Structure 1
Amino acid sequence: MCEQNMKASQELRRLLESIDRKSYPAYKSAQGAYNFGDYVLSIDHVQGDPFASPSKLSVFISHQKAGYPAELFDAPHKKQAFEDYLVRQFYQESARYNFKAKGSGKSGLIAISHPGPEILSRTACECSAQGIALRFEVGFPASGRTIQAGELIRILFEFLPKCVRQVLVFKNRPAGEVQAVALLAEDQYFIRQELKRLGLVSFVADGSVLPRESGVSSRPMKGSVAFHSPESLRVTLQLPNHKTLTGMGIRKGITLIVGGGYHGKSTLLKALEAGVYDHIAGDGREYVITDDTALKLRAEDGRSVRNVDISMFINDLPNKKDTLCFSTKDASGSTSQAAAVAEGIESGSRVFLIDEDTSATNFMVRDDLMQHIISRSKEPITPFIERARDLYEKAGISTVMVAGSSGAYFYIADTIIQMDSYIPCDITKSTKEFCAGYGTGAVEAAPGFKLPQKGRKLTVSGQNEGSQNPGWGGPGQGRRNGLDADWRKERIKVKVYGKDSLQVGKETVDLRFVEQLIDGEQTHALAQMLRFCLEHRLLERYCVADTVALIQKETAKGGLTAVSGCSYAAMGLCMPRTQEIFACLNRFRG
């Protein structure tokens, strides 16, 4: 924290007293950094009027003043959990003073990120080598558009100091609470490493509570059946801080989840989807851990598909349209799901999660009778069932699928789990024995399996520009001097509509069916990333994979501020996974 331009807190008080009852723009003079003794308060951006977006503030406290032991954040996974903990505590503490200061519009608002049960990397808190920074919003009070300085003084000199000292000073926290956060983070990280060693794609601990209160609630359902692993799939883990933990291990390969309606098939799959993120204690899914590259696939009628090789699944179309570089503004269910598989491979996913209910039937399977009546030569679609085995054996990509109506996948599944009143049963052996005598032949892999070529670009017109413009050439290559030269002078405006869609310039990107996007702040970050791409013309100059690699290199070096352009614009952002960055770029119609 630079102290060169820092002022004393009393200077801020005198300034506010001097502008009391003046017109609202006079608040702008309060921007700057102020020393409050234990911490520094920065007023980074002042809202234009009391009805506009709230003012952006931050506080910084040195590690010496905060007093938190270094072992709480000495590894990336522990640091993320520690920052998440502080955001949650500040949210709860500041809520006690929210709108206690009165006025028009957003006067008196004190707001910070409000995390769900997932532990995510947020700009709301940053623990650096120097200390801890918290970023939040405050509605500067006014009566109409007349400054109410006394009310802001209450916020900054009475309410805020209590919140800061209660949350950011270690001695004021309940004994053992923050240590428990670090211990859980260590356990979760350990399980993720064990997945790789044991050849698993997911682990679900015994005693986990998977059902949620409702389809729109992330809280665990009270009185629900606790998860209990079948013996044949049980894995025992010796955790660093949890002694012994048992649960169900889902092995690499093709796993089928079956059972009657309302018995918990989709509930289990939803838990596996969410398991790509760590969860807080008490969520019920804190020990549900899935390979963090796992991708939920589904049909998405009407989505934009650009220059995607879907020939693995769709070929020889009657209109002779090229499926090696397929584009459409209005994809069907089957073409959208075929494109999603190709894009998932491109994004580095090692696991595909599929629910039959949200899939295109003709993409997933063709039954024996249909194949006899409509010959293969007359059907351009090669169903997923004929590619799943090659995806695993030749590309190392596992599949976990929920099926409720078609038994064809029994023949290719390595593991078959039946959900019976939310209790899983391993029925692999009995099902395979039944299939052997059922009379229908095993599903054969379709010929011609070939992975999509690397280097796909979204904008064909700019293919020659990369060679003419010697800037950043791919992952790991130098500074982005070429990028800086091409910086567009006009600033592209962005808007975000919850977590489901965003708008960059005049283009809207529909993200409703990107199901592992779970926080609106991730969507905010994606909007900034897409704006960054457009202003630097990255999508014209580089392939999609290199564009994503460049974005991640910039954010690894400078945080989300690197793509948002300024520190206060980076407030309220949350880091999305690689798979969701790919999904956003691939759905941009620009």
Structure 2
Amino acid sequence: MQSSTDLQQLLRSIDHKSYPAYKSLKGVYRFPAYTLSIDHVQGDPFASPSHITVQIPLKHAGFPERCLVSHLTRTALADYLTRQFAGQVNRFSFRAKGSGKSGLISVSQCGPEILQRTACQIDAQNGSLTARFFIGFPANGRTINAKELEKIFFDFLPVCVEKSFYYRNLNASEVAQTIDLCEDQDAIRKEMKKRNLAAFVADGAILPRESGVSSRPMKGAKAFSSPESLRISMQLPHKGTITGMGIPEGITLIVGGGYHGKSTLLNALDLGVYNHIAGDGREYVLTDDTALKLRSEDGRFIKDVDISMFINDLPNGKDTHSFSTEDASGSTSQAAGIVEGIESGSHVFLLDEDTSATNFMVRDAFMQRLIAPDKEPITPFLERARDLYTQAGISTILVAGSSGAFFHVADTVIQMDSYVPVDITSQAKMLCQEFPLPETSVRPFQMPASHRIMTTDPKAVGKKRDYRMGAVRGEESLKVKLQGKDGFALGKQNVDLRYIEQLIDSEQTATLGLLLKYAVEKLMDSKKTLPEIVQYLQSQIHKKGLEAFTDGKYLPGGYAIPRVQEIYSCFNRYRRA
């Protein structure tokens, strides 16, 4: 390890040289308060910026022990510190001038959800705090401007690090509130399990967002108020008594007129699988953390999925016990999504009738009389929702706006009236007696079988290693090209994740690309099942973090760990051989 003085001397020795001379800076340098690592140097001033790591001993950072006692509190603290660092860095980004990305200092930009990111990690076992970020090394044209980079490393960065990662310089009250909130959220989740609740929405929560492209709470929005019949109270370790609407396990229907808040409530429940920061308005809106939002996806890829629970006796004779297609219909895609959700371990399904395939969800009495049962291959979701709960332990929360048939299977019915929830379960049940459903005959419920052997095209992973020669002969590693939050390219294969609605951050998508690349290159051997592969990846993340998938290279910032449900969703959309 070299000293910060060595870095200064190196900078001065390469000033005004050609840009590739910056490569000589790669290495680790000891500064008075932290260790600086230059992990990757960009090829030119217009390329993606250079990767930088700062590591601080926890004993010097000085955080109270209560901030470090659990994975939960460390994740909440790391999220808070990332936001603090981003705020400091924004004051200095591009103050060093030059061509292209010269002077850029870039840190992960966090939304209201708390995610485990590589941007800031706290390792209590090794006693270290690690921050990862990006710097655009300055140049004039393609000539090194080392004086400007020296300004970043020795003037700007020490200030940002000192004000962001040392407890003595932070707002102690804010730090305590961050830890208090995460412990209260954890207490609610534990209480939900004890009380058999699928979700909880606190009184006073602000559910509407500022706009369709903003995650900030809407100013002047009506605060949530639970109906008395569903109101519960909990005693939290820090906030004390909290009240709100407890949504019980089973089948819950959310109904109401257009623009009255049905989808707003469902969207809050979608994102309730994550903890939220203070001030978001949804800090105490929590859903079972395995909950999965489902919808139809015309044209999606499906491979070897047992959708016979919903679809049988296709006219073309295609086997639905191991169904594959390159171009799924709305109904087959939604059927596959449910089965894949079962495989991923989800205990709650979230659906909106507006984004579901109509023929998959329900068949009305007229259609049932007109089309004979033996001519209809689809068993609608309406006929399976009860079985999913009683036999598979999977609850359903469904927004319905057009079909009254769902009232017959619902355990709880919530009407949204001008953003105010009203429990109308009793009235709905009385009306069901007046409008009975016609008797139907459906196949007995059977849990789907698994045929999920993961294979891939050998051409996708390049030439194999020739062990007799003791070297790699023409082996090519797949490249991941991120396409924002909605997908990525792995080699020549695009993975479309637009309809994975609980995928909320491009850094989660980047991690999915990293995991899929690793699986394709090292795990997909035509023997392992999808659950075996995902379970292995999860165990490696738990033991080693994302470093397990970097082949011994450095781990950059720009990654956030997704849930296991999103890992399954990603792998299921990879068009493997």
Q: Using structure 2 for the length normalisation, give the TM-score.
A: 0.95
1:457 match: 453
What is the distance in 1 between the residues matched to 2:318 and 2:245?
Answer: 45
**Equivalence for 1:69:** 64
Specify the alignment match of 2:467 in structure 1.
none
Alignment of 1:180-195 (within 5 A): 180-195=177-192
Give the corresponding residue for 1:198. 195
Whether the aligned pair in 1 keeps the contact of 2:546 and 2:555 (CA below 8 Å) is no
Alignment of structure 1 residues 226-265 onto 2, 5 Å: 226-265=223-262
1:561 equivalent among 547, 550, 575: 547
List per-residue Cα deviations over 1:119-156 (Å, max 9, x = no partner). Answer: 00001111012210100000000001100000000000
Q: What is the rounded CA distance, in whole Å, between the counterparts of 2:272 and 2:441 in structure 1?
A: 30
Cα distance per residue 1:219-256 (max 9 Å; x no partner) = 11111111000000001010010010000000000000
1:359 is matched by which residue type in structure 2?
S
Say if 2:339 is the partner of 1:353.
no
* Alpha-carbon shift at residue 534 of structure 1 (Å): 1.0
Question: Does 2:569 correspond to 1:583?
Answer: yes
SS at structure 1 position matched to 2:109: coil
Q: Distance in 1 between matches of 2:243 and 2:441?
A: 36
Matches within 5 A, 1:28-39: 28-39=23-34
Structure 1 residue aligned with 2:118, among 113, 123, 130? 123
What SS does the aligned partner of 2:199 have? strand
Give the Cα–Cα distance (whole angstroms) in 2 for the partners of residues 376 and 455 of structure 1: 28
Of residues 12, 16, 30, the one that matches 2:7 is 12
> What are the within-5 Å matches in structure 2 for residues 37-186 of structure 1?
37-129=32-124, 130-186=127-183
Shift in Å, 1:437: 2.3
Partners of 2:526 and 2:505 in 1: CA distance = 29
Aligned residues: 562
Whether the aligned pair in 2 keeps the contact of 1:461 and 1:540 (CA below 8 Å) is no
Segment of structure 1 superposing worse, 356-365 or 444-453: 444-453
Unaligned residue ranges in structure 2 (runs of 5+): 459-470
Matched, 1:549 2:544: no
Partner of residue 3, structure 1: none
RMSD between superposed Cα atoms in Å: 1.7
Cross-structure match for 1:476:
none
Do 2:350 and 2:398's aligned partners in 1 also have CA atoms closer than 8 Å?
A: yes
Partner Cα distance (1:428, 1:494) in 2: 49
Match in the other structure for 2:422: 425
- What amino acid does structure 1 have at the position aligned with 2:508? Q
For the pair 1:447 / 2:443, whether they are aligned, the reply is yes
Match of 1:213 among 204, 207, 210: 210
For the residues of structure 2 that align with 1:101 and 1:187, how far apart are their CA atoms?
43
- Counterpart position of 1:482: none
Per-residue deviation at 1:215?
Answer: 1.2
Runs (5+) with no aligned partner, structure 1: 1-5, 463-484
Change (3 A) 1:150 1:283: same
SS across alignment from 2:77: helix
Work out whether residues 293 and 350 of structure 2, in 8 Å CA contact, stay in contact via their aligned partners in 1. yes
Report the equivalent of 2:494: 508
| 1:179-225 deviation line (CA, Å, top 9, x unaligned) | 11000000001111111000000000000000011111111111111
The 2-side partners of 1:572 and 1:330 are apart by 32
For normalisation by structure 1, the TM-score amounts to: 0.93
Q: Which residue of 2 aligns with 1:527?
A: 513
- Gap change, CA 1:221 and 1:17, over 3 Å in 2: same
Which residue identity is paired with 2:143? T
Aligned twin of 2:18 = 23
Residues 120 and 487 (structure 1 numbering): CA distance in 2 closer, same or farther, change over 3 Å?
Answer: farther
Corresponding residue SS for 1:387? helix
Provide the C-alpha distance between the structure 1 equivalents of 2:233 and 2:19, rounded to a whole number of angstroms: 63
Residues 560, 570 of structure 1: 8 Å contact kept:
no
The residue type paired with residue 76 of structure 2 is: A
The alignment partner of 1:538 has SS state of coil
Determine the C-alpha separation between the residues in 1 that align with 2:180 and 2:403. Answer: 43
Partner of 2:286: 289
Shift of residue 178, structure 1, vs aligned partner: 0.7
C-alpha spacing 1:237/1:486, structure 2 compared with 1 (3 Å): farther
Look up the SS of the partner of 1:540 in the other structure.
coil
Change (3 A) 1:460 1:28: closer
By how many angstroms is 1:258 displaced? 0.1
Superposition deviation, residue 274 in structure 1: 0.3
1:460 shift after superposition: 9.3
Flag the 1:114–1:127 CA change in 2: closer, same or farther, 3 A. Answer: same
**CA pair 461-35 structure 1, distance change in 2 beyond 3 A:** closer
Contact 2:105/2:135 (8 A) holds in 1: yes
Identity of aligned residues (%): 58
> Structure 1 residue 31: deviation in Å?
1.1
Read off the aligned partner of 2:490 and give its amino acid letter. V
Amino acid at match of 1:523: T
Q: How many Å apart are 1:539 and its aligned residue?
A: 5.8
Residue 309 (structure 2) pairs with residue 312 (structure 1): yes
Report the CA distance between 1:283 and its aligned residue: 0.3
Task: Give the 3 Å change call, closer, same or farther, for CA 400–304 of structure 1 in structure 2.
Answer: same
Q: Which amino acid aligns with 1:447?
A: R
After superposition, the Cα gap between the structure-2 partners of 1:192 and 1:445, relative to the gap in structure 1 and judged at 3 Å, is: farther
Partner of 2:481: 495
